[in-house]
Amino acid sequence: MAAKEATEMSKSTKIVAGGAAIGIVLLILLPFPFWANLLIVLGIPTAAYLALDPSQRRRLRRVGRKEIGR
């Protein structure tokens, strides 16, 4: 199996980048106050993390530590 080039993006990376770009544009264009935008940006990932069961949270933390080399 040939290694991917460093400049090639995976499908999931493209989806994440597109979602982030759309999110930033919407935060600028929609007339929400700053605190509401901050609540949306921080609240949605927090709620998603808390919705995981304990075994999924452990696996997520373990994978995160492996990626940063611990």
Q: Per-domain residue ranges for the chain?
A: 34-70
Q: Would you state the pLDDT for residue 38?
A: 79
**How large is the C-alpha radius of gyration of the chain?**
16
Q: pLDDT (tens digit, 9 = 90+) per residue, 57-70? A: 888 888 877 777 76
Rounded to whole angstroms, how far apart are CA atoms 32 and 41?
Answer: 12
Q: Would you state the pLDDT for residue 23?
A: 79
Q: Would you state the pLDDT for residue 65?
A: 79
Q: Is the pLDDT of residue 31 over 60?
A: yes
Q: Outline where the chain has alpha helix (H).
A: 11-29, 34-50, 54-67
pTM comes to 0.49
